[in-house]
Amino acid sequence: MGIKPQNIKEIESKASNIYEAIVLLSRRARQINEEQKIEFNQRMETINALTIPVAAEDDEPGINPDQVKISVEFDKRPKVIDQSLTELLKDQIQHTYPDKEIK
């Protein structure tokens, strides 16, 4: 996977400044990562619950082809920072600031 250059001005136009845009990207990337982690764990739990440990001579103990399939599927997904950057550029990320009371 290569590195794709990004237009900084386009990213900056989606927020007040480039630093704010980076914070938005990192927060969204963390959210996506957490969602994927929960999904991965749920899918692995269902497989672990359905799997009966049987040791055959041909198979290595502890390797389940269904688990490997799910792991490969998650590895092929786009990286979370790429997903968050795409969402930011397509204006799919909404952000607001908490109102500060001025005394």
Question: Are the C-beta atoms of 83 and 24 separated by less than 8 Å?
Answer: no
Say whether pTM exceeds 0.85.
Answer: no
Tens of pLDDT along the chain (103 residues) come to 577 888 999 999 999 899 999 999 999 999 999 999 999 999 999 887 776 655 555 555 667 888 889 999 999 999 999 999 999 999 999 888 777 766 5
DSSP string, 36-51: HHHHHHHHHHHHHHH-
Which among 3, 6, 5, 14 is positioned nearest to 89, based on CA atoms?
A: 14
